[in-house]
Amino acid sequence: MSGHLLEVTDLAIRFGTTGGGVQAVDGISFHLDRGETLAILGESGSGKSVSASAIMAILDCPPGRIARGSILFEGRDLLSLPESERRRLNGERIAMIFQDTLAHLNPVYSVGWQIAETLQAHKGLSAREARAEAVRLMESVGIPEPASRANDYPHQFSGGQRQRLMIAMAMALKPALLVADEPTTALDVTVQAQILDLLREARDSTAMGMLLITHDLGVVADIADRVAVMYQGRIVETGPVREVLGNPQHSYTQRLLSAVPGREPPPARPPVADLPVFEARELTKHFPITGGLFRRPTGEAVRAVDGVSLTLRRGETLGIVGESGSGKSTLARMLLRLEEPTSGAILFEGKDVSSLAGPELLSFRRRVQVVFQDPFASLDPRMRVAEIIAEPWTIHRDVLPRARWNARIAELLSLVGLRPEHAARYPHQFSGGQRQRIAIARALALEPEIVICDEAVSALDVSIQAQILALLDQLQRAMGLAYLFIAHDLPVVRQIADRVAVMQRGRIVEQGPCEEVFERPQHPYTRALLAASPVPDPDAQAERRKARRELAGV
């Protein structure tokens, strides 16, 4: 019997029943010791989350099925334990935190109740004792005013606070093993850094083992001791983080690392002539807060965008970076004239966009196109790819005669790296990256001059992200497009943008040429953002962590 805390041997998980089915996990083996963090690194579909579910005994069976293998925890095989004994381990000896905290916390119970429940279930504490302990736990993870906030519900907390609550719930009984499934994925970088600090503290104070499931190389570099790289259901490479990230042996790990944006100096950008096409002047958008019997405005307002001025030149890429709630997307919606500004002006080729009507507005709509973040939501599931791409032509009838539609659809699909025969398929038959290519083809159908990319690569795996960024760059050079590139990921913006504007709480706090802003940030917020953005190098990451602590004055 080995002394490892957790030892997984030859674990295989299949999905689907008789005959066919998919081998989601194909014989993986790894171990984890007390006080250690093992990261399982992989892109979507690699089988990393399914493995975590199997360890927690929360795999959906059916359709999932553990085909073979063993999971030893403190020397006992979890897979052969009786159900009730297995259940008692969960929450007490093994705990888990999840990615999408809004969905993973029960929306209809107060957070205090949900934390107390774990204590009551395993320790038989009275409701009063459990609640007092829950409040103490909330305080320990840094929730202000824990006694009153314990009565609040998950939706009343921010994403970062919800993950803190999840951690409080998981740490309630000081488990020996914590499984963390993408714990910081949807969070802003500054919040991510805080959550990683909190996890590090929790691990070090209780000497628990942490199994971290992630796709983010920067997170791995920040917190893990060892890493196992998963690809198509197998572990292709495993070892200490410094070795695997510094000197990757397997070709997949090498590919993954080279796809990370910002590793190499950004490619030289073609020069941009000083020809402004899009201009925003003192743009504001306030959403009034209403109340009372007749829902009258209370006079207060949410200042989503608060006096933003920017210029986009022909053929250039202007990056807009900022964290969630900074007003980036509201700004994009106003520029697209999907949202009326409260005040300020938007000029397109010198003309006020709000005054456009009839054929002039139609022409504006044609020349300014958009690519959204979620390629699963932005393509109509009941339309074929050909119909999706051709739809703009049914509105803008003078662009292309109907006889040439099919030829042009084939051209556009080749242009974005798909095959002409894909035109007859439906969106669900494509991967996320392919769908984003379709969305780009649709945007290009009208031969626009400006494409607004609203977090267009944020939902994609790094290797796919790199491909889409290369595609956007290539299209820009060939067609002279101007991009307004909105993103929360700084290295991505650095790679693609000529100039960058940093947004915080509805305002642009700093803007200028990319290199200047990234190399010599002036505003403290820009500096904080840069320091919080993780890099896939443990030593550089430790440096950044130190810099960040100094910035925060710790």
Partner 1 sequence: MGSFIARRSLQSLVALAGLIVLVFFAARLTGSPADLYLPIDASVEARQAFNEKHGFNDPLTEQFGRFLVDLARFDLGHSIRKDRPALEVVLEAIPTTLALAAVTMTLAVAGAILVGSLAARRPGGAVDRLGSTLSLAAASAPDFWVAISAILLFAVALGWLPTSGMGTFWHWIMPVGVLLIRPFGILVQVVRGSMLGALSAPYVKTARAKGIRERTVVFVHALRNGLLPVITVAGDQAAGIVNGAVIVETIFGWPGIGKLMIDSIIQRDFAVIQASILVTAAIIFAMNIVIDLAYGLLDPRVRHA
Query: Which residues contact partner 1 (rule: CB under 8 A)?
Result: 53, 56-58, 60, 87-92, 95-96, 98, 100, 103-110, 117-118, 121-122, 153, 155-156, 166, 169, 292-294
Residue 104 CB, nearest approach to partner 1 (Å): 4
Nearer to partner 1, 118 or 467 (CB): 118
Residue 24 CB, nearest approach to partner 1 (Å): 17
Say whether 349 sits in a helix, a strand or coil: coil
Cα distance between residue 388 and residue 307, in whole Å: 36
Residue 75 CB, nearest approach to partner 1 (Å): 20
Residue 62 CB, nearest approach to partner 1 (Å): 9
Residue 345 CB, nearest approach to partner 1 (Å): 34
Residue 370 CB, nearest approach to partner 1 (Å): 29
Residue 468 CB, nearest approach to partner 1 (Å): 28
Nearer to partner 1, 87 or 419 (CB): 87
Nearer to partner 1, 153 or 376 (CB): 153
Residue 118 CB, nearest approach to partner 1 (Å): 5
Nearer to partner 1, 111 or 386 (CB): 111
Residue 89 CB, nearest approach to partner 1 (Å): 7
Residue linked to tokens 């969630």: 324
Count the Cβ atoms, other than its own, within 10 Å of residue 120: 17
Show the tokens assigned to 416: 């974005």
Strand segments, DSSP code E, in 292-429 are 296-313, 317-321, 343-348, 351-352, 368-371
Strand segments, DSSP code E, in 172-265 are 177-181, 209-214, 226-231, 234-240
Residue linked to tokens 């022909």: 314
CA neighbor of 274 nearest in space, from 485, 549, 482: 482
CA 217 vs. chain centroid, Å, equals: 13
Nearer to partner 1, 176 or 227 (CB): 176
Judge contact between 317 and 266, C-beta under 8 A.
no
Torsion angle defined by CA atoms of residues 397, 403, 406 and 408, in that order, rounded to the nearest 10 degrees: -60
Residue 489 CB, nearest approach to partner 1 (Å): 25
Provide the pairing of β-strand 226-231 with 37-41: parallel
Nearer to partner 1, 62 or 359 (CB): 62
Cα distance between residue 91 and residue 544, in whole Å: 34
Cα distance between residue 544 and residue 516, in whole Å: 19
Cα distance between residue 174 and residue 178, in whole Å: 9
Residue 266 CB, nearest approach to partner 1 (Å): 38
- Order of strands across the sheet with 276-291? 296-313, 276-291, 343-348, 351-352
Residue 293 CB, nearest approach to partner 1 (Å): 5
Nearer to partner 1, 121 or 399 (CB): 121
Cα distance between residue 321 and residue 455, in whole Å: 10
Show the tokens assigned to 142: 């840094």
Residue linked to tokens 């962590």: 545
Cα distance between residue 224 and residue 200, in whole Å: 9
Nearer to partner 1, 26 or 117 (CB): 117
Count the Cβ atoms, other than its own, within 10 Å of residue 64: 19
Nearer to partner 1, 153 or 405 (CB): 153
Nearer to partner 1, 110 or 214 (CB): 110
**Residues β-bridged to residue 179:** 96, 211
CA neighbor of 440 nearest in space, from 385, 491, 492: 385
Residue 177 CB, nearest approach to partner 1 (Å): 12
Count the Cβ atoms, other than its own, within 10 Å of residue 21: 14
Nearer to partner 1, 175 or 233 (CB): 175
Which secondary-structure segment (H or E) carries 414? helix 405-415
Nearer to partner 1, 293 or 478 (CB): 293
Provide the pairing of β-strand 22-32 with 351-352: unpaired
SS3 readout for 428-445: HHCCHHHHHHHHHHHHHC
Nearer to partner 1, 105 or 416 (CB): 105
Nearer to partner 1, 290 or 414 (CB): 290
Residue 295 CB, nearest approach to partner 1 (Å): 8
**Residues β-bridged to residue 22:** 15
Q: What contacts 35, CB < 8 A, 6 or more positions away?
A: 203, 204, 207, 208, 209
Which residue type occupies 439?
A
Provide the pairing of β-strand 234-240 with 351-352: unpaired
Show the tokens assigned to 437: 């290519």
